[in-house]
Homo-oligomer: A and B are copies of this chain.
Amino acid sequence: MGLKTKEQYRQSLNDGRVIFWGGEKITDVMNHPRFRVPIEVAARDYDYDAPGMRDIRTYETEDGTLAHRVFQVPRTADDLTKRVQMSANMSIVGGVTGVYMALLQIKGKLAEVNPQFAENIERMYKYARDNDLRGAECITDAKGDRSRKAHEQDDPDLYVRVVDRNKDGIVVRGAKLHISAAALCHELVIMPTKSMRQDEADYALAFAVPTNAPGLKIVNRNFAPPNLDPFDYPSSAHHSMPEGFVIFDDVFVPWDRVFLCGESQLSGAFAGSLGLWERTGGVIAAAEQSKVMVGLAQLVAEQQGKERDPHIQDMIAELICYAETIRMGLEYAIQNYETTSTGMVHPNTLGINVAKYYYASNYHLMVRNLQDIAGGLTVTLPEDADFRNPESGAYLRKYMHAKPGVDIDQRRRIYSLIRDSTADAYGGWHLVTALQAGGGLKAQRIVMSRTYDMKDAKHAALKAAGALPDEGHATAKAAE
Contact = CB atoms under 8 A, between A and B. Distances in A.
A386 B23 contact: yes
B441 A431 contact: no
Nearest to A377: B177
Interface string A375-386: 111111111111
A54 interface: no
Contact of A25 (B225, B335, B392, B456): B392
B328 A452 contact: no
A464 B391 contact: no
19 contacts: A20-B386, A25-B389, A140-B376, A142-B399, A175-B399, A223-B424, A225-B225, A230-B475, A245-B380, A295-B456, A295-B458, A298-B457, A313-B449, A317-B449, A323-B457, A324-B351, A376-B437, A421-B464, A427-B428
B304 A145 contact: yes
Interface string A65-92: 0000000000000000000000000000
Nearest to A436: B376
Interface string A344-369: 00000011001101100101110110
A50 interface: no
A126 interface: no
A246 to B, nearest CB: 10
A51 interface: no
Contacts of A219: 382, 386, 392, 395-396
Given A142-B399, A409-B472, A465-B417, A381 B479 contact: no
A436 B401 CA distance: 21
B23 A383 contact: yes
Interface in A208-245: 217, 219-221, 223, 225, 229-231, 234-235, 243, 245
Contacts of A223: 379, 424
A143 B157 CA distance: 45
A440 B225 CA distance: 31
Interface centre among A20, A306, A444, A464 (most CB of B within 10 A): A464
Interface stretch (A1-9, A146-154, A162-170, A250-258): A146-154
A144 B386 CA distance: 20
Contact of A395 (B249, B296, B404, B442): B249
A465 B238 CA distance: 11
The 9 closest A-B pairs by CB, nearest first: A295-B461, A23-B385, A423-B428, A317-B445, A295-B457, A145-B305, A147-B305, A413-B467, A310-B310
A140 B25 CA distance: 49
Interface in A404-455: 404, 409-410, 413-414, 416-417, 419, 421-425, 427-429, 431-433, 435-437, 440-442, 444-446, 448-449, 452, 454
A231 B476 contact: yes
Contacts of A389: 20, 23-25
Contact of A441 (B316, B372, B382): B372
Given A417-B464, A472-B413, A332 B328 contact: yes
Given A144-B403, A399-B175, A311 B310 contact: yes
Given A304-B146, A320-B452, A448-B317, A178 B298 contact: no
Between A177, A219, A325, the greatest number of chain B beta carbons within 10 A of the residue's beta carbon is seen for: A219
B376 A462 contact: no
A314 interface: yes
A478 B230 contact: yes
A134 to B, nearest CB: 19
Given A328-B355, A364-B367, A417-B466, 18 more contacts: A145-B304, A145-B403, A154-B401, A154-B403, A178-B380, A220-B382, A230-B466, A231-B466, A231-B476, A234-B465, A310-B310, A317-B448, A325-B325, A364-B365, A367-B431, A379-B433, A410-B465, A423-B432
Interface stretch (A99-107, A183-191, A264-272, A286-294): A286-294
Given A225-B225, A383-B221, A376 B328 contact: no
Interface string A276-310: 00000000000010011111101100001110111
